């Protein structure tokens, strides 16, 4: 737009000068007005049309012959023709032909040469001014482009920062949800079963109170111990996130399995057989896996007794350098859990659903079947960090 204004200002000045000192002032005004229109069109012509350049050349020639002055021919500096030598050559030819036709007097050759020099000087000034204006516009466009790019980059960085903040928030939220899930699972698996066993013991004590007060007192003491153990389980569940980095030997895990089984079958006619690796390998288990498996074992034992009325359990533990497998099978009889409705029963229940969720998140596998007794098999990967890396 500024180039069009520049061209029109130069053309207007030359037209006024030609109208005042030219030979055909009226024609100069008409041709000058047409040139201003053509220069305006050329500045917005993105296709660089050939016919626009041709029309400009014709009207510039007419303008020179109408004014019959060197400054009229200098308007060729504004021509949109890309080849600069052609502009200067065309202006020189028009001026020389015009001088040959209309110049008078003995010194016309000298006047022609002087006018030619002045014309080229004006053309150089006009062309230089136009190039300076083009350079200024390019710098302005470049500055605007850099500002736009900077604004876009800043906007993109803000969006990225918002996205990172949201991701960090979601990661923190998921970590807190996972912590809650771990605590709720441990409380359910440990405390729930201990309290259930304590209630059963108190019921037995109530029945023995009139028959054998001493046995009843002993069962009340046993129930009291189990309640105290439940309180410790709650404290341990709350501390579980701080203890995740600890590791527990497989031998200690087997002792804990035996303790859980002994507590469960105390004062009952139930039996529990435990099969473990012999000899027990020197394998370290993640603390969180141990907490989970102990809770899962209590869930399987309680479900077998409560829903399947089982009185015999077989607990099997096996391990290698990569996996730990625990299997619990009972001799219970229940029509509630079948192969057809297994998925529905797992989704509706709280304990088995939590167990399945943990195993899946840990990268392990679990399977529940109910054929000649309920059978639960859980396999967890045993991966821990050593100085040489993960093994």
Contact criterion met (CB below 8 Å) for 264 and 360: no
CA geometry: angle 180, 186, 189, nearest 5 deg? 135
Cα–Cα dist 265/179, whole Å: 31
Question: pLDDT digit string (tens) for 28-39?
Answer: 899 889 988 888
Cα–Cα dist 5/36, whole Å: 9
DSSP state of 24: -
CA-nearest of 354, 390, 361 to 184 is 354
Count of positions (residues) in the chain? 391
Q: Give 263's contacts (C-beta < 8 A, 6+ positions apart).
A: 197, 226
Q: Which structure tokens are listed for 201?
A: 């013991």
DSSP state of 191: I
Cα–Cα dist 139/145, whole Å: 10
Contact criterion met (CB below 8 Å) for 250 and 290: no
**384 φ/ψ sector (left φ>0, alpha ψ -120 to 50, else beta):** beta
Q: Give 372's contacts (C-beta < 8 A, 6+ positions apart).
A: 331
Question: pLDDT digit string (tens) for 343-385?
Answer: 676 666 657 888 888 999 989 999 888 888 888 999 999 865 4
DSSP 317-371: EEE-SSEEEEEEEE----SSS-TTTHHHHHHH-SHHHHHHHHHHHTT-EEEEEES
Lowest mean pLDDT among 106-120, 133-147, 232-246: 232-246
Q: Which structure tokens are listed for 100?
A: 């040959």
* Residue found under tokens 């004590």: 205
Cα–Cα dist 160/166, whole Å: 10
* Mean pLDDT of the region 221-237: 71
Contact criterion met (CB below 8 Å) for 228 and 193: no
Contact criterion met (CB below 8 Å) for 208 and 216: yes
Cα–Cα dist 201/196, whole Å: 9
Cα–Cα dist 15/9, whole Å: 10
* Mean pLDDT of the region 314-328: 91
Question: pLDDT digit string (tens) for 252-271?
Answer: 888 888 878 887 877 567 88
Question: pLDDT digit string (tens) for 37-53?
Answer: 888 888 777 677 788 88
Percent of the chain past pLDDT 70, that is, above it, reads 83
Cα–Cα dist 7/126, whole Å: 9
- Quote the mean pLDDT of the chain: 81
* Mean pLDDT of the region 124-144: 86
Burial class (CB within 10 angstroms; exposed 0-12, middle 13-18, buried 19+) of 325: middle
DSSP 287-316: HHHHHHHHHHHHHHHHHHHHHS---EEEEE
In which band, very low, low, confident or very high, does the pLDDT at 315 lie, cut at 50, 70 and 90? very high
In which band, very low, low, confident or very high, does the pLDDT at 330 lie, cut at 50, 70 and 90? very high
> What predicted TM-score, i.e. pTM, was given to this entire model?
0.41
Beta bridge partners of 318: 325
Q: Which structure tokens are listed for 225?
A: 């111990």
C-alpha Rg value of the chain to the nearest Å? 49
Q: How many CA atoms does the CB half-sphere of 88 hold within 13 Å?
A: 14
Domains and CATH numbers, the chain: 2-147 (no CATH), 247-391 (3.30.565.10)
């Amino acid at each position: 737009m500024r180039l069009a204004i520049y061209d029109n200002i130069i053309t207007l000045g030359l037209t006024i000068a030609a109208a005042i000192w030219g030979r055909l002032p009226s024609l100069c005004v008409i041709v000058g007005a047409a040139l201003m229109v053509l220069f305006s069109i050329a500045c917005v012509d993105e296709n660089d049309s050939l016919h626009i350049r041709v029309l400009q050349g014709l009207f510039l020639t007419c303008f020179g012959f109408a004014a019959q002055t060197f400054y009229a021919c200098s308007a060729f500096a504004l021509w949109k023709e890309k080849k600069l030598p052609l502009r200067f050559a065309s202006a020189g030819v028009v001026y020389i032909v015009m001088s040959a036709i209309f110049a008078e007097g003995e010194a016309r050759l000298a006047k022609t040469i002087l006018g030619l020099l002045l014309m080229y000087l004006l053309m150089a000034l006009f062309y230089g001014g136009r190039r300076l204006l083009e350079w200024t516009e390019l710098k302005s466009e470049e500055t605007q482009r850099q500002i736009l790019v900077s604004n876009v980059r800043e906007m993109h960085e803000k969006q990225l920062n918002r996205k990172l903040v949201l991701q960090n928030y979601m990661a923190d939220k998921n970590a807190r949800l996972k912590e809650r899930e771990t605590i709720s699972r441990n409380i359910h698996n440990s405390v729930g079963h201990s309290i259930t066993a304590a209630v059963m013991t108190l019921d037995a004590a109530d029945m023995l109170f009139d028959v054998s007060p001493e046995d009843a007192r002993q069962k009340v003491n046993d129930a009291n111990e189990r309640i105290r153990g439940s309180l410790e389980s709650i404290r341990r569940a709350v501390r579980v996130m701080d203890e995740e980095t600890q590791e527990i030997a497989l031998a200690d895990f087997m002792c804990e399995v035996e303790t859980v089984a002994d507590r469960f079958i105390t004062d009952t006619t139930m039996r529990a057989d435990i099969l473990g690796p012999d000899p027990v390998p020197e394998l370290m288990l993640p603390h969180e896996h141990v907490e989970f498996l102990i809770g899962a074992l209590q869930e399987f034992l309680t479900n077998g007794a409560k829903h399947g009325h089982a009185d015999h359990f077989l607990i099997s533990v096996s391990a290698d350098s990569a996996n730990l497998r625990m299997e619990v099978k009972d001799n219970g009889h229940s029509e509630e859990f079948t192969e057809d409705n297994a998925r529905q029963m797992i989704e509706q229940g709280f304990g088995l659903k939590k167990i399945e969720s943990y195993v899946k998140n840990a990268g392990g596998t679990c399977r529940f079947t109910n054929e000649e007794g309920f059978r639960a098999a859980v396999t967890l990967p045993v991966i821990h960090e050593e100085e040489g890396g993960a093994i």
